[in-house]
Amino acid sequence: KYAQSAQSGPLRDRIAYDGKHQLISVDQFTRESAEEFFRIADLMQPIARRQKVSRVLEGAVLGNLFFEASTRTRVSFGAAFCRLGGSVCDTTGFTFSSMAKGESIYDTSRVMSGYVDAMVIRHPEQGSVAEFARATNIPVVNGGDGAGEHPSQALLDLYTILTEFSRLGKLLDGAHIAMVGDLKYGRTVHSLIKLLALYKGLKFSLISPKGLEMPDYILDQISKHGHVVEPSNELKDMAGADVIYTTRVQKERFAAEELEGYSPQFQVSKAVVDQFCGPDVIIMHPLPRDSREGAHDLSVDLNDDPRLAIFRQTDNGIPVRMAIFAVLLGVEGLVQHSLRDV
Ligand code: CP
């Protein structure tokens, strides 16, 4: 599934952020280090499924600080830390943190560093998690910073794609990836396209409503890799894709008037997938899907379609996030030796 690694020394030193064992951006990874990381995620699978037990993080405490709504990221990071024997303290929303009383990111980060061994932070402002990280030396993980990045999501997305391709006997090099939806404010696609760009000869169809296109700073960054990149405003341009990665329109990040070009024509449904893609296409979404009136998100009529990988994708969130903690806290080499039966 992965290429051989010729690197030596701890992975956490090779992916360090500003010299610290923190995960803020996918820019910290090369293809080689990402695949080395995925081998560690593979080791976590039996623990994630509770077929085996490990307590390598016994006594350690995670601070889960979520200043923006979340179900998957917050709970799966917490569950991942607990699966390795640690405990979790969390706070959700500004209202229930002292930031509501005017406390700065710097003070919050310094105070939390004295209480916990690692922090996962989600915050609505792009760049804010890096600010938390600068104020501390403990591991900090970016759980999503506004329209910036979502590196753990991109890692689990790439892990899912490689796992699905392995099952199908396909290689990621040379694949056609269609990204559909809000590519402007969707941080998961910002991180994922940068990770995918580490592979060779890809074709990206970037299909969005007008006004919600992938930002130029991301396109500039991936342009040096020589992939084919085709922006589009029509679903038909996903024709022949190996992966369809759909995203929710991030209505919380912009005014409703900007949504003018968004219509049912952007909904990825079973009819659309059958018309444009083959039996081996993988359909993904970081979730949540927006199921409210007027939303044209990934259709529920694909729920029983084996090509829909969204729940295999969410399941992969646990071993991938366990691997993040194991690597950043430097215990990945102890996990194999610590395994015991349930
Ligand atoms: N994919 C994702 O970040 O989901 P949550 O917002 O529920 O954490």
Q: What is the pLDDT of residue 5?
A: 73
Q: List pLDDT tens digits, range 259-289.
A: 665 667 789 999 999 999 999 999 999 999 9
Hey, what amino acid is at 323? A
Q: Report residue 99 as tokens.
A: 């930031």
**Distance of CA 20 to CAs 24, 34, 130, 146, Å?**
10, 18, 11, 22
Pair of tokens at residue 142:
């970016």
Please tell me the predicted confidence (pLDDT) of residue 219: 97
Element (DSSP H or E) covering residue 323: helix 317-328
- Which residue ranges in the chain fall short of pLDDT 70? 253, 255-263
Q: Which of 153, 157, 251, 297 to mutate to test the pocket of ligand 1 (most atoms within 8 A of CB)?
A: 153
Residue labelled with tokens 């993040």: 324
**Tokens 């296109």 label which residue?**
213
- Residue 45, judged by CB atoms within 10 A of its CB (0-12, 13-18, 19+), counts as middle
Sign of CA dihedral 91, 93, 96, 100: positive
Residue whose pair of structure tokens reads 């952020």 in the numeric block: 17
Query: Ligand 1 pocket, 307 CB below 6 A?
Result: no
Q: Compute, in angstroms, the gap from residue 245 CA to the centroid of ligand 1.
A: 15
Q: Which atom of ligand 1 lies nearest, measured to the CA of 150?
A: 3
Q: Is the CB of 208 under 6 A from ligand 1?
A: no
* Ligand 1 contact via 152 beta carbon (within 6 Å): no
Task: Kindly provide the ipTM of the predicted complex, given to two decimals.
Answer: 0.99
Domains of the chain: 11-149+317-341 (3.40.50.1370), 151-315 (3.40.50.1370)
pLDDT of the residue at 65: 97
What confidence score (pLDDT) does residue 133 get?
A: 98
- Give the nearest ligand 1 atom to 122 CA: 8
Closest ligand 1 atom to residue 144 Cα is 3
**Residue 326: per-residue pLDDT:** 98
Atom of ligand 1 nearest to the CA of 75: 8
